[in-house]
Structure 1
Amino acid sequence: MSDSPAPPPPSRLRLGVFLVLLSATGFAAKGILAKLAYAEGVGASTVLDMRMLSVLPVYLGGLLWFGRKGTLARPGLRDPDFWKIVLLGLLGFDFSALLDFEGLLRIGAGLERLVLFLYPTFVVFLSGLLGRRGIHLREVLASLLAYGGLAIVAGGKVTADPDLRTGMLLVLGSAIFYAVYLVGVERLVRRVDPLYLTSLVMVVATAALLLQSFASGHFHPETADRTALLLIGAMGIFSTALPTFFMTVGISIIGSSRAALLSFFGPVVTLAMAGVFLGERVTFAEGIGALLIMGGVGWVAAEGKKGSFRGGR
Structure 2
Amino acid sequence: MSGLRARLQAIPTGSYAAAFCIALCATTFYSMKPVFIKLAFGHGASVDAVMAWRMALSLPVFLIIGIRAWRQREEKPKAAQIAEAAGVGILGYYGASYLDVMGLQYVSAQLERLILFCYPALVVLATAFIRRQPISRRTWGALALAYAGLGLLFGHDLQLGGANTLLGTALVFGSAVAYAGYLMLSGRPIASMGSMLFTAIAMSAACLAVLTHAMVFEGAAVSRISWGALGWMAAVAVISTVLAAFLQSEAIARLGAARASIVGSTGPLLTSVAAVFMLGEPFGLFHVAGLSLATAGMVVLSRKRN
TM-score with structure 1 length normalisation? 0.88
The alpha carbon displacement at 1:156 in A equals 5.8
Query: Does the CA-based 8 Å contact 1:74-1:193 persist in structure 2?
Result: no
Query: Does the CA-based 8 Å contact 1:148-1:289 persist in structure 2?
Result: yes
The one of 23, 46, 50 aligned to 2:49? 46
Letter in 2 for 1:284: L
Residue of structure 1 equivalent to 2:109: 109
The alpha carbon displacement at 1:112 in A equals 0.7
Residue of structure 2 equivalent to 1:267: 268
C-alpha spacing 1:227/1:188, structure 2 compared with 1 (3 Å): same
Which string of whole-angstrom CA distances, capped at 9 and with x for unpartnered residues, describes residues 204-255 of structure 1? 1111111112222266334311111111111100111001000101110111
Distance 1:282 1:136 in 2: 34
C-alpha spacing 1:91/1:225, structure 2 compared with 1 (3 Å): same
Q: Which has the higher helix share?
A: 2
Letter in 2 for 1:98: Y
C-alpha spacing 1:186/1:219, structure 2 compared with 1 (3 Å): farther
Residue of structure 2 equivalent to 1:215: 216
Distance 2:271 2:116 in 1: 11
The alpha carbon displacement at 1:70 in A equals 4.1
C-alpha spacing 1:74/1:131, structure 2 compared with 1 (3 Å): farther
Which string of whole-angstrom CA distances, capped at 9 and with x for unpartnered residues, describes residues 51-75 of structure 1? 111010011112211112146x642
The alpha carbon displacement at 1:151 in A equals 1.2
Residue of structure 1 equivalent to 2:78: 76
Query: Does the CA-based 8 Å contact 1:95-1:177 persist in structure 2?
Result: yes
The alpha carbon displacement at 1:119 in A equals 0.4
Residue of structure 2 equivalent to 1:62: 65
C-alpha spacing 1:123/1:44, structure 2 compared with 1 (3 Å): same
TM-score with structure 2 length normalisation? 0.90
Residue of structure 2 equivalent to 1:3: none
CA-atom RMSD in angstroms: 2.0
Instruction: Give the 5 Å matches for 1:1-313.
Output: 12-70=15-73, 74-77=76-79, 79=80, 81-131=81-131, 134-155=134-155, 157-158=157-158, 161-217=162-218, 220-303=221-304, 308-309=305-306
Structure 1 counterpart SS, 2:192:
coil
Query: Does the CA-based 8 Å contact 2:33-2:236 persist in structure 1?
Result: yes
C-alpha spacing 1:105/1:292, structure 2 compared with 1 (3 Å): same
The alpha carbon displacement at 1:301 in A equals 2.5
Distance 1:93 1:186 in 2: 16
Distance 1:219 1:289 in 2: 42
The alpha carbon displacement at 1:187 in A equals 2.9
Which string of whole-angstrom CA distances, capped at 9 and with x for unpartnered residues, describes residues 33-90 of structure 1? 100000000101211110111010011112211112146x64232x3x2222222112
Identity %: 28
Equivalent pairs, count: 295
The alpha carbon displacement at 1:286 in A equals 2.7
Query: Does the CA-based 8 Å contact 1:97-1:174 persist in structure 2?
Result: yes
Structure 2 counterpart SS, 1:292:
helix
The alpha carbon displacement at 1:283 in A equals 2.2
Letter in 2 for 1:189: I
Structure 1 counterpart SS, 2:303:
helix
Distance 1:175 1:14 in 2: 27
The alpha carbon displacement at 1:300 in A equals 1.7
Query: Does the CA-based 8 Å contact 2:86-2:203 persist in structure 1?
Result: no
Q: What runs of 5+ residues in structure 2 fail to find an aligned partner?
A: 1-10
Q: What runs of 5+ residues in structure 1 fail to find an aligned partner?
A: 1-7
